[in-house]
Amino acid sequence: MAENKITILDIRRMKEAGEKITMITAYDYPFARIFSDAGVEIILVGDSAAGVCAGHESTIPITMDEMIYHIRSVTRAKPRSLVVGDMPFMSYQVSVKDAIFNACRFIKEGYAEAVKLEGGVNVEDRISAITAMDIPVMGHIGLTPQSLHRMGGYRVQGRDNVGRKKLIEDARAVERAGAFSIVLEGIPSDLAGEISGIISIPTIGIGAGIECDGQVLVMHDILGLAFSKRPKFVKEYANLKQAATDAVSRYINEVKEKKFPTVEHQYS
Ligand code: KIV
């Protein structure tokens, strides 16, 4: 293991020390290098690749093989950041055996260092089985995009008492099963704060407010590369779509006007 490599032990320690954890998604080699060099602690190769990279309308269609391609592209960058591979729909829902087999594929073929899967009480047996194989698991509860059809759309979860109670039970189940951390997505910030106080593993929030132990965003949202409507919880730190449009427009103009290539770009 490379010196200085971030491991799940560092992530656990950060919660104990009260130090905020940063996580960002990445799906390929160049962005993995950029984010790792910038100092992010965790790179999540999210199944959001289905939407932001492949243009699907949900995360449901992405396959194990497609995810392994993205994870492999990220780990080839040898990032200092911990690399977590996101288990796609149908890779763990059908059976515990599938869950173990597919988590092992992420580690063996993708060189991921941990896996993430969605659900709480309903996937407790999957998380226990994968962690029993010595594969670190990150949980994910709240607005879980693979449960789109049950939720009736991408809606904030846990707004009423029944929903709050269920999410607290889910968080406890994920911790009990041995996960090293948990994503809290699309839940009221006071509930996220309550969960972060109850469980000992780090909570990583997305649309879950300031009281989580860390934050995660999709890289396309942070960098202004997304084509879908921007959700309330997103902060855009750059507008790379505009920068790319400007750069390519200049290239087109210079080719049309015979200003590119010049002598400095050609061979004699
Ligand atoms: O797939 C993904 O990008 C995710 C994060 C938004 C948490 O699951």
DSSP 156-218: ----SHHHHHHHHHHHHHHHHTT-SEEEEES--HHHHHHHHHH-SSPEEEESS-TTSSEEEE-
Question: Residue 1 has what pLDDT?
Answer: 73
Closest CA to 84 of 47, 122, 126: 47
**Alpha carbon distance 80, 4 (integer Å):** 7
From first CA to last CA, the distance across the chain in angstroms is: 46
Q: Is the pLDDT of residue 42 over 80?
A: yes
Distance (angstroms) between ligand 1 centre and the Cα of 215 equals 11
Closest CA to 47 of 65, 35, 29, 30: 65
H/E segment holding residue 12: helix 8-17
Q: What angle do CA 106, 50, 80 make, to 5 degrees?
A: 45
Mutate to test the pocket of ligand 1, among 43, 48, 215 (most ligand atoms within 8 A of CB): 48
Ligand 1 atom with least separation from CA of 23: 7
Return the bridge partners of 85, or none. 45, 115
Q: Is the pLDDT of residue 17 over 80?
A: yes
83 contact partners, CB below 8 Å, separation of at least 6: 32, 42, 43, 45, 71, 74, 75, 111, 112, 113, 114
Span 160-204, pLDDT tens digits: 999 999 999 999 999 999 999 999 999 999 999 999 999 999 999
In short, whether 48's Cβ falls inside 6 Å of ligand 1 is yes
Q: Is the pLDDT of residue 3 over 80?
A: no
Average pLDDT over residues 232-249: 98
Structure tokens at 26: 């990445």
The DSSP output letter for 225 is -
In short, whether 177's Cβ falls inside 6 Å of ligand 1 is no
Question: Residue 173 has what pLDDT?
Answer: 98
Phi and psi at residue 215, in whole multiples of 5°?
A: -135, 150
From the list 185, 236, 254, 257, the catalytic residue is 185
**Active site annotation includes 169:** no
Question: Residue 114 has what pLDDT?
Answer: 99
Span 65-91, pLDDT tens digits: 999 999 999 999 999 999 999 999 999
Span 77-129, pLDDT tens digits: 999 999 999 999 999 999 999 999 999 999 999 999 999 999 999 999 999 99
pTM assigned to the model = 0.97
Closest CA to 202 of 24, 63, 42: 42
Q: What is the secondary structure of 98-138 as a DSSP string?
A: HHHHHHHHHHHTT--SEEE--BSGGGHHHHHHHHHTT--EE
CB 116 within 8 A of CB 84: yes
pLDDT interval class at 145 (50, 70, 90) = very high
In short, whether 207's Cβ falls inside 6 Å of ligand 1 is no
Question: Residue 99 has what pLDDT?
Answer: 98
In short, whether 8's Cβ falls inside 6 Å of ligand 1 is no
Closest CA to 138 of 115, 166, 154: 115
In short, whether 213's Cβ falls inside 6 Å of ligand 1 is no
